[in-house]
Amino acid sequence: MVEMTEHKIEPTEHKIEPTEHSFEATQSSGVVSALLTCPDNANCLLVLGHGAGAGMRHAFMEALAGRLATRRIGTFRYQFPYMEQGRRRPDFQPILLKTVRSAVSAASALSNGLPLFAGGKSMGGRMTSLAAAKGPLADVRGIIFFGFPLHPAQKPGVERGDHLRAAGVPLLFLQGTRDKLARLDLLEPLCQDLAHSATLHMVEGADHGFHVLKRSGRKDDDVQDELADATRTWIDGLTP
């Protein structure tokens, strides 16, 4: 397991407004929406899938895209078909995986040659690694999990991580220490088994949604900054 090093990023304050895009997720599911947030000084682009219960415009996704932009990381957020169509139940896995591939292709076409990374919040991240395990995601240099859902709440297990070794690229796990969907006594050995392909960054006191308790002395904004800084540091370790 690769250890994170301290690396303080000094963000700029200029807010980058996203531009709206769309692409065909699958032939059967049709077109879905996407948002590109890419500052002029960006040196990479992250294809970012949402979690199971909230879409690309969720407050977490909005805040994360903004903070990453101040750290020269562009983002391409996108909807899965069920969310685009206003349905609550996620699509069957083949559709989710195909949507990931389509999103990567759409982002690549808009990237102007920037290095590509992919991942997402909870389900979005897991679907990205599952897609990569079934076949390389074109030009994607690494996968970032903003809360990897290793198991259902109160049903601990590691089966959801069985595919990770086949993903074929470096992996960054950003996990809250209070995350009920990823017990650390299960996730840490899994990352250690993946050796140098996996980096685990633990966010003290954060739950699966990266919320912290008031008594912790920290705010959710502080956690968002930590996530963005950790992402920047990890990417810097992979790119020239």
Question: What are the extents of the domains in the chain?
Answer: 19-238
Say what the pLDDT of residue 239 is: 66
Give the DSSP H or E segment for 65.
Answer: helix 59-69
Pick the CATH number of 19-238 from 3.10.180.10, 3.40.50.720, 3.40.50.1820, 3.40.50.10090: 3.40.50.1820
User: How far is residue 235 CA from its own chain's centroid?
Assistant: 13
Q: How many Å apart are CA 73 and CA 223, to the nearest integer? A: 17
8-12, 84-88, 184-188, 209-213, range with the lowest pLDDT: 8-12
90-94, 215-219, 221-225, range with the lowest pLDDT: 215-219
Tokens of 143: 């996968």
Flag whether pLDDT at 180 surpasses 90.
Answer: yes
Please name which of 50, 59, 105 lies closest in space to residue 81, comparing C-alpha atoms: 50
Q: How many Å apart are CA 231 and CA 201, to the nearest integer? A: 9
Say what the pLDDT of residue 163 is: 97
Q: How many Å apart are CA 163 and CA 160, to the nearest integer? A: 7
pTM over 0.85: yes
Flag whether pLDDT at 10 surpasses 50.
Answer: no
Sign of CA dihedral 26, 161, 171, 123: positive
Q: What is the mean pLDDT of the chain?
A: 93
Report residue 8's pLDDT band, with 50, 70 and 90 as the boundaries: very low
Q: Is 26 helix (H, G, I), strand (E, B) or coil?
A: strand
15-24, 112-121, 170-179, 222-231, range with the lowest pLDDT: 15-24
Flag whether pLDDT at 38 surpasses 70.
Answer: yes
